[in-house]
């Protein structure tokens, strides 16, 4: 069913898809302007192109680095979280993973699990996936720690799960991992830009993310952040002229890695996602971040209240301290997800479903009026047979 056309409600007020694609006021115009400026520069018959293009990439890096309080020269661009994790694994010393265990939770982003499954034989590690308890919606932190011993060479933590919005206790998990001597990575995708993440305070070895979600950027705008002491031990397999300290060193027999995160670069960098994402990152940098989070918390509370009234079980933690920015609801057998999404869409309320799980993520453009349209439909579900 097509979305209704009503200027009073087709304003982003009912947009609840920040776990998928983030939106902010004026995004389309800002992105179009940035891409038009790039096209004008790139199509000009002069020599300004590379200075402009690489400057946009550097601006992207600077904005992300500031957001995450990343050490200088510790963050670079990548296409997505999967390619970022692959680059890190391929760069680690061979003995870090060979004959050891890579640990991941069963509610990690599936793409990362697909990657690790495929890499395990080639890189000689055993993939250990911590399962969900029977009937549970997320993996418990204590189960992760129980499976995490000194045999674990690398552990990838999912800060916030895309399927439940469960937020793990990073402080406790990272401290446990340090005691085991593991390399520790964090996938921050589902919360970066909404919940503060400080690379230096968390103390993990690396972080991966995309700009798609709460950062409101474009596809292809991924990041890889690696702490300096780990960078020094890494020799990326995928390397090229941008991996060098002096990219214009053309002696083909004298390659040397850059001393910082640039060693994770390779050939000529892709810049289009950076160009398209910089306006969103700049908009985000100017906002009152605590106020944005407070708004999300208030709206999530209203969704949970409506779910309780409708008799819908939560598939997310009730405690906001253990939850990201989304609320997931179990629809049960009596509610057809496709029909429900159509009803919501007809009121310009945009959510999605993974099987019987409804996913709602109120964000920067969501208003109390949009939430009221959602909760009105949810509370009406109590009358469904």
Does the CA dihedral 75-77-81-86 come out positive or negative? negative
Residue 6, pLDDT score: 66
Q: What is the pLDDT of residue 215?
A: 98
- Residues for the chain: how many in total? 385
- CATH class for the domain made up of 288-383: alpha beta
Summarize pLDDT for 307-352 with one digit per residue, the tens: 999 999 999 999 999 999 999 999 988 899 999 999 999 999 999 9
Report pLDDT for 383: 53
pLDDT at res. 382: 66
Q: Do 56-271 and 288-383 fold alike per CATH? A: no
pLDDT tens digits for range 129-148: 999 999 999 999 999 999 99
CB-based contacts of 252-260 (< 8 A; 24+ apart in sequence): 259/232, 260/72, 260/73, 260/74, 260/228, 260/231
250 burial type by CB count under 10 A (0-12 exposed, 13-18 middle, 19+ buried)? exposed
Query: Which stretches of the chain score pLDDT less than 50?
Result: 1-3, 385
For the packed helices 110-123 and 81-91, what is the interaxial angle rounded to 10 degrees? 20
Instruction: Beginning with the edge strand found earlier in the chain, give each strand of the sheet holding 206-210 in spatial order.
Output: 75-78, 222-226, 206-210, 183-187, 152-158, 101-105, 126-130
Rg of the chain over all Cα atoms, to the nearest angstrom: 22
Give φ, ψ of 356 to 5 degrees.
Answer: -85, 10
pLDDT in tens, 280-296: 999 999 999 999 999 99
Q: What's the pLDDT score for residue 1?
A: 40
CATH number assigned to the domain with residue range 56-271, chosen from the 4 options 3.40.640.10, 3.90.1200.10, 3.40.1260.10, 3.50.50.60: 3.40.640.10
Question: Where in the chain are the domains?
Answer: 56-271, 288-383
């Amino acid at each position: 069913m097509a979305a209704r056309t009503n200027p009073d409600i087709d304003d982003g007020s009912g947009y609840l898809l920040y776990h998928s694609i983030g939106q902010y006021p004026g995004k389309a115009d800002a992105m179009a302007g940035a891409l038009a400026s790039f096209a004008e520069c790139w199509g000009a018959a002069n020599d300004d192109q590379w200075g402009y293009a690489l400057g946009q990439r550097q601006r992207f890096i600077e904005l992300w680095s500031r957001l995450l309080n990343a050490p200088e020269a510790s963050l670079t661009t990548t296409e997505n979280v999967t390619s970022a994790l692959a680059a890190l694994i391929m760069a680690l010393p061979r003995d870090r993973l060979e004959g050891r265990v890579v640990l991941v939770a069963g509610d990690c982003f599936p793409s990362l699990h697909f990657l690790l499954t495929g890499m395990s034989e080639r890189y000689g590690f055993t993939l250990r996936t911590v399962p969900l308890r029977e009937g549970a919606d997320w993996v418990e932190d204590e189960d992760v720690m129980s499976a995490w011993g000194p045999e674990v060479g690398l552990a990838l933590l999912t800060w916030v799960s895309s399927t439940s919005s469960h937020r793990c206790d990073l402080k406790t998990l990272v401290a446990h991992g340090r005691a085991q001597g593991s390399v520790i990575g964090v996938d921050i995708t589902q919360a970066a830009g909404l919940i503060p993440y400080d690379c230096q305070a968390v103390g993990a070895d690396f972080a991966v993310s995309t700009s798609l979600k709460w950062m409101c950027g474009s596809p292809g705008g991924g990041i890889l952040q690696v702490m300096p002491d780990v960078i020094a031990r890494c020799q990326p397999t995928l390397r090229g002229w941008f991996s060098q300290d002096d990219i214009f060193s053309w002696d083909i027999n004298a390659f040397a890695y850059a001393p910082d995160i640039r060693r994770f670069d390779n050939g000529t960098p892709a810049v289009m996602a950076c160009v398209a994402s910089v306006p969103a990152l700049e908009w985000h940098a100017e906002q009152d971040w605590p106020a944005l989070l407070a708004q999300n918390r208030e709206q999530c509370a209203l969704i949970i209240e409506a779910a309780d009234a409708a008799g819908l079980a939560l598939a997310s933690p009730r405690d906001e301290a253990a939850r990201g920015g989304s609320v997931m609801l179990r629809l049960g057998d009596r509610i057809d997800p496709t029909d429900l999404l159509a009803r919501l869409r007809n009121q310009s309320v945009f959510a999605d479903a993974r099987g019987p799980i409804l996913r709602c993520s109120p964000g920067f453009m969501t208003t109390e009026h949009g939430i009221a349209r959602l909760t009105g439909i949810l509370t009406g579900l109590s009358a469904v047979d």
